[in-house]
Structures are given as structure tokens and as C-alpha cells.
Chains A and B, each alone.
Chain A
Amino acid sequence: MKIVLNGAAREVTESTTISSLLEEVGINPDRVAVEVNLQIIDRHDLKSTFFKEGDQVEVIGFVGGGIL
């Protein structure tokens, strides 16, 4: 099924969890926050949360920046 990950379309399977997706793209889950359809997913639920068609997924972390 198709989801949108950080603004780009991506194909995932029905058995893909947030945790496995992060692993697939090489992201340390300890340093990011994940939002699905504007809802923040609790860190403890990453392994048990599956996707559904059309989910808008944001994976955000910290980057260099002071004041804009």
C-alpha cells in the first residue's frame, strides 16, 4: 500500500510497522518523533503500529539551527 513519508510517496506492506520502517531507512528511533496523520505516536507504540493506505507519516529530528 502507499503511504506518504516526509512528503514522498512510499510503498509499504501490511506487515510494516513504524519501527520496521525506521529500521529500513536507517533511522535511530531514539532520536526522532513520528507523527501519523498529525498524531504523535508514542515511542512505546512504534513496534505495534501498522500503516493504512494513504497515511501521512512525518519523521522528524533535530538539525542545526539557531534562530530563524
Chain B
Amino acid sequence: MDVHDRLVVGGIEFKSRLIVGSGKYKDFIETQKATEASGADVITVAVRRVNVLDRTKENLLDYINPKVYKILPNTAGCYTVQDAIRTAHLARAAGISDMVKLEVIGDEKTLFPDTAGLLEAAKILVKEGFIVLPYTNDDPVVAKRLEEIGCAAVMPLAAPIGSGLGIRNPYNIRIILETVRVPVIVDAGVGTASDATIAMELGCHGVLMNTGIAGAKDPIRMAEAMKYAVIAGRQAYLAGRIPKKLYATASSPIEGMIE
């Protein structure tokens, strides 16, 4: 693998093109093992109230060492611009970096982003010096606007969060790739390894997933599968696939056939 082929977002170099979430695991040990197996060095985390009543309660960061992993706080669960900004501020105050995975959710049932709110929140956070990675629709126009505002990447959904439906609109993803110059990271909807490979073969610069790994019967094994799927897709993209043809083309020479 080409060691120089690294994903760089907002000046920060990622060691893997796979970014993982930290939710939905059975326990912190499983979170830790799956994260390790995924080969990812960026892990996204939610921002929530700390349990102040139970002193024995363990902390995610006891298992995911912020010195080893880059912690990407998200504004998951925020339905308003105001909440998303407040959450981003708290994350920065608690955290390690200025990166934020910005989510402004517009609908409870589909968890589709409120792109109007997203643009508004992104604008404010970019001005405040955040490295903004917005979770957005597979809409090339919105992607373009997010880039213009100064987002460090755009993260279009492949399918609804947690749905596992895969890349539902590869054509829009391709148009987004042709429209923006910042990295395009598919965020949400990946169900299995081939989905991740397809995203990478399209030319996406990275894939972010959580449920696809954590919800598998064997999350640690799936994490490893995703690691290779992302590498395979990236390599295939760089290698350049053969054109599709209707008829056969022999791969052995005709010359020297036994008569």
C-alpha cells in the first residue's frame, strides 16, 4: 500500500480511511477490541452529561486512549442549530482538538440532516475556528455550499443512519466527488464490507461507520472486514477498473494454440 496515500482533513493526517463510531457496543472492552481491529485512528464520540451519581462508572476514554486515537466529538442528537453549537463548544472545552462532526438532525424517523440548519451551524463554527466535518445529505448543491463555507470535508450519507442499506445513490456521490475539492467521507448507511468497498471505489476519500460494525453478530471480526474493505476499495479506485463490456475478451493468447 502507498504510505503517502493518506487522508488529510483540515490539515490533520488520518492513518486510515476508515473512521469508526463508538456507540452500540456491548461494553467498553468490545468497543476497544473492535476499534483496534478496524485499524482506524479516528473515532467519533458523543457528548453527554457525565454520570455524577455513580462513582464506579467507567469512562470510554479509559478504553480508547486519546493519545493513541484522534477523538472526533459529534453533535449527534442535536435537532437545532443552537444545540449543535452548544454541544460543539462543550466538546472543544472537554476535548483534545478543534474537530467536530457536525450533525443537525431534521427528522426523528429518518434522521436525515436539516441541511438549512447544518449550513447555518457550520458557518458559525468555521468562523470560530472549528474543523467542521458535516454529516449531510447526498445533495451536491449542499455539499458545495458546505465547502464554500469552509468545512474541512463533506460527509454525505449513503443511506439512513443505522439502516445498513448501503450506497443508495452512487450517482449523487459521484457528482459530489466531482463538485467539491475537500475530502468526501461517506457517513452512515454502510451495512457490510462490500458497501464500504463500493464507496471507496467510487472515489470517496473515506468511510465513517458505527452500526455496520457494532451491530454485526461478531463486531470485532466485522471491524477487521471493514478495514480490508476500505483498503481494497481505495486500491481498486487508484488502480483503475477495466471498462464493462457485453462480450467476452479472452485473457489467454490465441497464438501457439495446439493444432
Binding partners A and B: yes
Binding site for B on A (CB under 8 A): 5-8, 25-28, 31-35, 38, 40, 43, 58-68
CB-based contact B49/A58 at 8 Å:
yes
- Name which of A40, A59, A67 has the most chain B CB atoms within 10 A of its CB: A67
- Contacts of B214 on A, CB cut-off 8 Å? 66
Q: A31-B59, A33-B94, A66-B209 are in contact. Are A60 and B188 (CB under 8 A)?
A: no
Per the CB 8 Å criterion, the residue count for chain B at the interface is 48
- Contacts of A28 on B, CB cut-off 8 Å? 59
Q: A61-B48, A68-B105 are in contact. Are A31 and B31 (CB under 8 A)?
A: no
CB-based contact A63/B60 at 8 Å:
yes
* Of B15-23, B144-152, B194-202, B237-245, the one touching chain A: B15-23
Shortest beta-carbon distance from A43 to chain B in Å: 7
B37 touches A (CB below 8 Å): no
Q: 21 A-B Cβ contacts within 8 A?
A: A6-B52, A25-B53, A31-B94, A35-B90, A40-B93, A43-B93, A58-B90, A60-B49, A62-B45, A62-B46, A62-B71, A62-B91, A63-B45, A64-B28, A65-B48, A65-B76, A66-B21, A66-B44, A67-B101, A68-B46, A68-B74
Q: Which residue of A lies closest to B57 (CB)?
A: A26
How long is the Cα–Cα vector from A61 to B31 in the complex, in angstroms? 17
- Contacts of A7 on B, CB cut-off 8 Å? 49
How long is the Cα–Cα vector from A30 to B249 in the complex, in angstroms? 63
Q: Which residue of A lies closest to B48 (CB)?
A: A63
Excluding A38-B86, A58-B90, 5 further A-B contacts by CB distance (< 8 Å) are A60-B90, A63-B48, A65-B46, A67-B103, A68-B74
Q: A65-B22, A68-B111 are in contact. Are A33 and B91 (CB under 8 A)?
A: yes
Shortest beta-carbon distance from B137 to chain A in Å: 13
Shortest beta-carbon distance from A45 to chain B in Å: 11
Binding site for A on B (CB under 8 A): 20-25, 28, 31, 44-50, 52-53, 55, 59-61, 71, 73-74, 76-77, 86, 89-95, 101, 103, 105, 111, 135, 161-162, 187-188, 208-211, 214
- Contacts of A65 on B, CB cut-off 8 Å? 21-23, 44-46, 48, 74, 76-77, 210
- Contacts of A61 on B, CB cut-off 8 Å? 47-48, 50, 59, 61, 94
Shortest beta-carbon distance from B99 to chain A in Å: 13
Q: A58-B49, A59-B49 are in contact. Are A66 and B71 (CB under 8 A)?
A: no
Which 3 residue pairs of A and B lie closest in terms of their CB atoms, listed nearest first? Answer: A66-B21, A66-B210, A65-B46
Q: Which residue of B lies closest to A29 (CB)?
A: B94
Q: A33-B93, A62-B45, A62-B61 are in contact. Are A68 and B52 (CB under 8 A)?
A: no
- Contacts of B28 on A, CB cut-off 8 Å? 64
How long is the Cα–Cα vector from A64 to B135 in the complex, in angstroms? 18
- Contacts of A40 on B, CB cut-off 8 Å? 89-90, 93
Shortest beta-carbon distance from A64 to chain B in Å: 4
